[in-house]
A and B are shown apart, each in its own frame.
Chain A
């Protein structure tokens, strides 16, 4: 029977994980919502964030890496979008397949450049060690992760809800024709959204890197929860992604206590349950993607 301390720790782990999932899923969903492209490469871009940070850290320190690595990933994303844009207007399958091919290629590039071995990145010195509060002992770094994730989520929310760019992005998702008619360059908008989405993945990769060992396959492992979060939360909803991420993180974190090996499976059970109860996800809107 797990003790209270253990329970709380796992719960906190789950929340931190959930915030990360929400961050990854949000970037993924921005791309999905605006361009109807399933960005398969999202996971490998997450991994790239970590690898770029690994390469940059010795030169610019942890904070420098936190700033620059995601920009690097955004650049890769920008390049990727130039390829994806040739599939706009066609069957969405093509965009999906393109990013699928890109994911395979990029993962192999990572293997070539950094070899398949696992790397560990250490947390920055000022958050090393544990934080103690009463009976609770928790990793300081994870607290930093949570804080950073919250800040970033807040920034994205502010961008979407309070700036004209965000409004355009949301409009673009609904009515590309109209947006174009208003004189807004749809092509540039899509470039922006795609890059932004990939930057989010990159940032998540940087801050997640010290938590787990860095291997080429973490990308594939990260992309699945992003899918599930979007399905659970509902396509097109900011709070859906946040809620879905938190739900997924806590459920899988807690299930670690009870059923350690099946915790991944629990994610899918959760997804199936949510779908049965709310076919469009918790906060999804009816879209053209269904009848």
Chain B
């Protein structure tokens, strides 16, 4: 039983699930149920995105576009074809996956800055397309009139039932991603981040793997975007802008996406809470936000969980004794040296 649980949902994950399960008992008092829903939606986005950024080391900078595309696909499917909930969500996820697969063909052979540059360009391209094809997308007004239908007798129009609807997806996505990162595929993409040349030297066609992980991350982005459109009863271009694409990167970074599977979730929480706080404090919160960005990069690039990990580990040792092996096990192993079944720190 212990190993089964470890394979599927280790203790920290269960704690996280429990926390989000219980939040709606506290949040409505402050009128914050919607914020909780928003956190989970962006957590889905960020966790999927971190496969690309934190695990494979590919800094894609236009992923907001896929988030937005997911929303529009959901809206278009719901309004013009079937209505309903399930099919539009499937269309959002699958459709965005296909868009991602197409873009990935262009970018999979690049890395580093060239890769980032291209992802930026494609991201902004999709953003412009939304305005150009405004008969379909509603242009600046957005694609409104999206419905949250009832599910199993619960009116999803209400905040709390919708929260739990999103919660179900959040749990599902987290479980799936945990399997992915601990699978052989997960090992390969981690290898690519650490040394792409070595990964090739031992026999992996890294371009194909990069294509695959990019596409996968777009699928998750599309799902999150679809859920977001349901949340806001409409799909809009705003999440597709360049600065929103930068946001998801910052979310992953702040929380410690390079250091931990859970980094993105923490980052989303910090980010959204901070955003709400800052925007009530000042009109010029954009300035504070930009400065925060710079500060994190300069002083805390490994993110919160990265700092936590660093503090719990002895500073760089160089010890060859076997005793060291025992010590290394009990020190928090990095993201990358944990086999399923080992405890997450």
B289 partner residues in chain A, CB cutoff 8 A: 101, 104-105
Complex contact B110–A231 (CB within 8 A): no
Complex contact B243–A104 (CB within 8 A): yes
Chain B contacts with A in 114-128, Cβ cutoff 8 A: 114-118, 120-122, 124-125, 128
A264 partner residues in chain B, CB cutoff 8 A: 128, 132
Question: Which of A96, A103, A290 contacts B61 (CB under 8 A)?
Answer: A96
A235 partner residues in chain B, CB cutoff 8 A: 114
- Taking CB as reference atom, which chain A residue is nearest B292? A101
- Which among A6-14, A155-163, A267-275 touches the partner chain? A267-275
Most buried by B among A87, A90, A105, A268: A105
**Would you call A254 an interface residue if the criterion is a C-beta within 8 Å of the partner chain's C-beta atoms?**
no
What's the nearest-Cβ distance from chain A to residue B254, in Å? 11
**Would you call A107 an interface residue if the criterion is a C-beta within 8 Å of the partner chain's C-beta atoms?**
yes
Contact with B along A254-267 (1 / 0, CB 8 A): 00000001101100
Complex contact A106–B109 (CB within 8 A): no
**Would you call A93 an interface residue if the criterion is a C-beta within 8 Å of the partner chain's C-beta atoms?**
yes
Complex contact A290–B110 (CB within 8 A): yes
**Would you call A180 an interface residue if the criterion is a C-beta within 8 Å of the partner chain's C-beta atoms?**
no
Complex contact B294–A102 (CB within 8 A): yes
Complex contact B246–A97 (CB within 8 A): yes
What's the nearest-Cβ distance from chain A to residue B202, in Å? 15
**Would you call A132 an interface residue if the criterion is a C-beta within 8 Å of the partner chain's C-beta atoms?**
no
Complex contact A265–B293 (CB within 8 A): no
Question: Which of B115, B116, B242, B297 contacts A220 (CB under 8 A)?
Answer: B242
Complex contact A101–B113 (CB within 8 A): no
> How big is chain A's contact interface, by range?
35 or more
- In angstroms, Cα B290 to Cα A107, docked, is 9
Q: A100-B293, A105-B291, A272-B106 are in contact. Are A261 and B132 (CB under 8 A)?
A: yes
Complex contact A97–B297 (CB within 8 A): yes
Complex contact A104–B286 (CB within 8 A): yes
- In angstroms, Cα B57 to Cα A268, docked, is 26
Question: Which of A86, A96, A261 contacts B116 (CB under 8 A)?
Answer: A96
**Would you call B284 an interface residue if the criterion is a C-beta within 8 Å of the partner chain's C-beta atoms?**
yes
- Taking CB as reference atom, which chain A residue is nearest B250? A97
What is the count of residue pairs linking A and B with beta-carbon distances less than 8 angstroms? 127
Complex contact A94–B114 (CB within 8 A): no
Complex contact A268–B121 (CB within 8 A): yes
Question: Which of B110, B287, B293 contacts A109 (CB under 8 A)?
Answer: B287
Chain A contacts with B in 211-248, Cβ cutoff 8 A: 220, 224, 227-228, 230-231, 235
What's the nearest-Cβ distance from chain B to residue A10, in Å? 20
- Taking CB as reference atom, which chain A residue is nearest B105? A276
Contact with A along B176-216 (1 / 0, CB 8 A): 00000000000000000000100010000011000000000
What's the nearest-Cβ distance from chain B to residue A29, in Å? 11
What's the nearest-Cβ distance from chain A to residue B242, in Å? 7
- In angstroms, Cα B123 to Cα A20, docked, is 24
What's the nearest-Cβ distance from chain A to residue B110, in Å? 5
Complex contact A98–B294 (CB within 8 A): yes
Q: A93-B59, A109-B287 are in contact. Are A227 and B110 (CB under 8 A)?
A: no
**Would you call A4 an interface residue if the criterion is a C-beta within 8 Å of the partner chain's C-beta atoms?**
no
Question: Which of B114, B246, B250 contacts A290 (CB under 8 A)?
Answer: B114
**Would you call A208 an interface residue if the criterion is a C-beta within 8 Å of the partner chain's C-beta atoms?**
no
- Taking CB as reference atom, which chain A residue is nearest B289? A104
- In angstroms, Cα B293 to Cα A107, docked, is 14
What's the nearest-Cβ distance from chain A to residue B15, in Å? 30
- In angstroms, Cα B284 to Cα A111, docked, is 9
What's the nearest-Cβ distance from chain B to residue A291, in Å? 6
What's the nearest-Cβ distance from chain A to residue B111, in Å? 6
Complex contact B113–A279 (CB within 8 A): no
- Taking CB as reference atom, which chain A residue is nearest B59? A93
Contact with A along B46-71 (1 / 0, CB 8 A): 00000001000101010000000000
Question: Which of B114, B128, B250, B287 contacts A105 (CB under 8 A)?
Answer: B287
B249 partner residues in chain A, CB cutoff 8 A: 93, 97
B121 partner residues in chain A, CB cutoff 8 A: 224, 227-228, 231, 268, 271
**Would you call A92 an interface residue if the criterion is a C-beta within 8 Å of the partner chain's C-beta atoms?**
yes
- In angstroms, Cα B294 to Cα A105, docked, is 9
- In angstroms, Cα B249 to Cα A91, docked, is 14
**5 A-B pairs whose Cβ atoms sit less than 8 Å apart in the complex:** A38-B117, A93-B59, A98-B294, A104-B243, A265-B128
A-B contact sample (13 more), CB < 8 A, given A104-B287, A108-B287, A228-B121: A83-B294, A92-B112, A94-B297, A96-B116, A98-B298, A102-B290, A231-B117, A231-B118, A261-B132, A262-B132, A272-B106, A289-B114, A291-B200
